[in-house]
């Protein structure tokens, strides 16, 4: 099952700000992530002109549950929180990514967008 959440309130975001930041829809890929879920959602998002990016915790390629190798575009720490429009975590053995590093990153990102959406 895919975990998905949108980080900004579209009603409050001005389009010039959005264009300036080149908002991205981020897939967090990790060893044992379910490639089937990624492919299906990726297809629908790409035909909707979403700017998709694949991140792993360390920026290295991963091996999915189905055995495919997938290259990450960048590491999670290299991604600007201000550019994240949505964050997608596909199903799989999440113990691989259940780290303090990821929890802190996600909380900081959520806090950033909560504060931004209040403006």
Instruction: Please state, rounded to an integer, the average pLDDT across all residues of the chain.
Output: 83
Q: What range does the domain containing 12 cover? A: 3-118
Return the pLDDT at 58: 94
Mean pLDDT over 17-46 rounds to 84
Taken in order 65, 105, 13, 72, is the CA torsion positive or negative?
A: negative
Q: CATH number, domain at 105?
A: 3.40.50.880
Give the model's confidence band at 15: pLDDT under 50 very low, under 70 low, under 90 confident, else very high: low
Residue 118, pLDDT > 90, answer: no
% of the chain with per-residue pLDDT over 90: 45
pTM equals 0.77
Instruction: Please give the residue that has the higher pLDDT: either 114 or 60.
Output: 60
Q: DSSP character for 58?
A: S
Beta bridge mates, 4? 88
How many structural domains are present in the chain?
Answer: 1
Q: How many CB atoms lie within 10 A of CB 31?
A: 17
């Amino acid at each position: 099952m895919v975990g998905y959440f949108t980080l900004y309130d579209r009603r409050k975001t001005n389009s010039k700000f959005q264009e300036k930041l080149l908002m991205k829809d981020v897939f967090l890929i990790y060893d044992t992530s379910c490639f089937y879920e990624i492919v299906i959602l990726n297809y629908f998002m790409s035909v909707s002109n979403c700017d998709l990016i694949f991140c792993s915790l360390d920026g290295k390629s991963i091996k999915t549950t189905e055995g495919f190798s997938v290259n990450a575009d960048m590491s999670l720490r290299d991604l600007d929180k201000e550019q994240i429009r949505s964050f997608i975590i596909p199903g799989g053995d999440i113990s691989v990514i259940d780290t303090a590093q990821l929890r802190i990153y996600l909380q900081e990102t959520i806090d950033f967008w909560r504060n931004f959406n209040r403006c």
